[in-house]
Structure 1
Amino acid sequence: MLIGSDWRSSQSEAVMEVISPIDGAAFTSIASGSKADVDAAVAAARSSFERGVWRNMPPMARKAVLLKWADLIEADTLALTVLGVRDNGTEIGMAEKAEAGSAIRTIRFYAEAIDKIYGEVAPTPGSHLGMILREPVGVVAAIVPWNFPLMIGAWKLAPALAVGNSVVLKPAETASLSLLRIAALALEAGLPEGVLNVVTGTGDVVGDALSASMDVDILTFTGSGAVGGLIMQNAGRSNRKACYLELGGKSPNLVFADAGDMEAAADATIGGIFRNAGQVCVAGSRLMVEQSVKADFIGLLNDRLAGFRTGDPLQLETQAGAINNAGQLAR
């Protein structure tokens, strides 16, 4: 885990095996963080924020750091992609575009926004001046899921860092490696000590401690509705921190007889449910087809699925890779 500028083990000395969903074998291990580790990471983030090493940096300088970070990720795309596939099982063709590629675009977008989004001057009487300023809030906790760690991690990290916040990131316990790697690249790009901290570990320990922390100002979480409810409870019982929650749901595909292109609808239906082995928050997990076109549409699906390739996610021809973990597979 990364706290301040130090890579360290957990204070509890606990570790977690990293098990590849490709073959079920452990291929490395990472620290399993404790509440004490979370407290240390939050303290490092708070210290960096109060010292102003990042938030008081000139906007063009912050922009340059984030752009360099994106460049370093781009140069490391192949290694990051393979690492991520081994860690979370996403098929490699999709991982390259949806993971590293998306993270790069997101970081560059928010880096470029730093010197282009302005405050406002509110209309007031002549003796008054009213200004609306966009300012960092302080310490942001970001809890990222396992299905698209780089993409969703960048969605949370890039805007928080662009405006000058300090961050404590908790990756999913079954998909931490690629986020640890880009954290190292952030330091290499020039992000100051303590601005980005990463605590690996389980949700019931690390996630619970972050959501209950009295010194976290904002928490952003992507995951299940049940865990989102627990986070809101902890936030309310602690310092009533603001919570931004993106929670799971069910997404039906609807196909009506007047659809203009049934071939395209069939392709979209298959992509919607099998992309990343169906492990997508907007996966089309239900299909509703108008009765008059049901038989023909099912025929189109069957034709496409006859040649559908599942298997090793490191092979480019694989269309659906591995299920991320045993618990998910059992569902």
Structure 2
Amino acid sequence: MKRDPLYWLSLLCVLMGAASYGLLPVFIKKAYEDGFTQGQVTVHQTGIAMVLLWLIALVRWKRWQNPLQGSWLKLVLIGTCGLAMTTILYNAALQRLDASLAIVLLFQFTWITILLDSIQKRTWPGKLRLLAIVIVMIGTVLAAQLPENGLTKVSVTGVLAGFLSAVSYSLFIWWTGQLEGQQDTVIRSAVMVSAGFILITLLYGSGAFSAGREAALVGWGLLLGTLAQVVPTLLFNIGIPRIGSSLSALLGAVELPVVILTAWAILGEPLSVGRVVGILLIVAGIGIAELSTGKRKGNSARLEEKH
């Protein structure tokens, strides 16, 4: 079948969007090393992302819809309970754990989302999905280096925050997948980030600002907000409609090895054979989970590829 001339560019866009997410943890850790607190980093990351998204949305004003119609209230709920809580918990995990371990915990969203979907449909996961869950679990044990280190050398609070970030991210994905309507992707993201920013600001208050070093903090916020929200939103908006959601989800798994490799290269975190094998197993588990989804949604995916 002849591909759309922009098909391979779309693949690259999705890969680059996922890689942008993958660079985020390393720079969050660097911001912590620069002396800034979790609250300061989280508020500025989210606040500047909100401003940038609304600036982009203004350019796309013709795509605006009545904010009192459609799924806008749901976007606010997703922005607070899903997006904001994921950011808060993940940043808390990064403050206490290696970036390599924090991202492995976040990627537990794979099997948590499968369970949420099964609970909603009141059915057991299919054989492929159960296999995916088992593979991800085994990969997690290896990637977290539990056989070598156990749980004695890590922060229990950090592990709990990392796992809860996976739960909130699963809810974010699950709720987003149930949204109806045709809101523009950038505007939808801007609404969710704005709602999340309000919650985050209320939680951290005035302590989120640094009078003497606010310029440096804004610089970190600009970098983190761009990597976390702006670049992925724009690139996914270009790529996903052409290659389909299932393939995009699989390509999005590149975030995991990007985090591991950059944490090793920039932060000096250990990169053992066991961790590499664990990462490969997690990515394989994601692939199997998406394969099971693709079998049920094959016709839809093929239609998406034609657009």
Per the TM superposition, whether the score is higher than 0.5 is no
Asked which structure has the greater CA Rg, the reply is 1
Which has more helix, going by share of residues?
A: 2
Question: What is the TM-score of this pair, normalised by structure 1?
Answer: 0.32
Report 1 or 2 for greater relative contact order, CA contacts < 8 Å, sequence distance ≥ 6: 2
Structure 2 length normalisation: TM-score?
A: 0.34
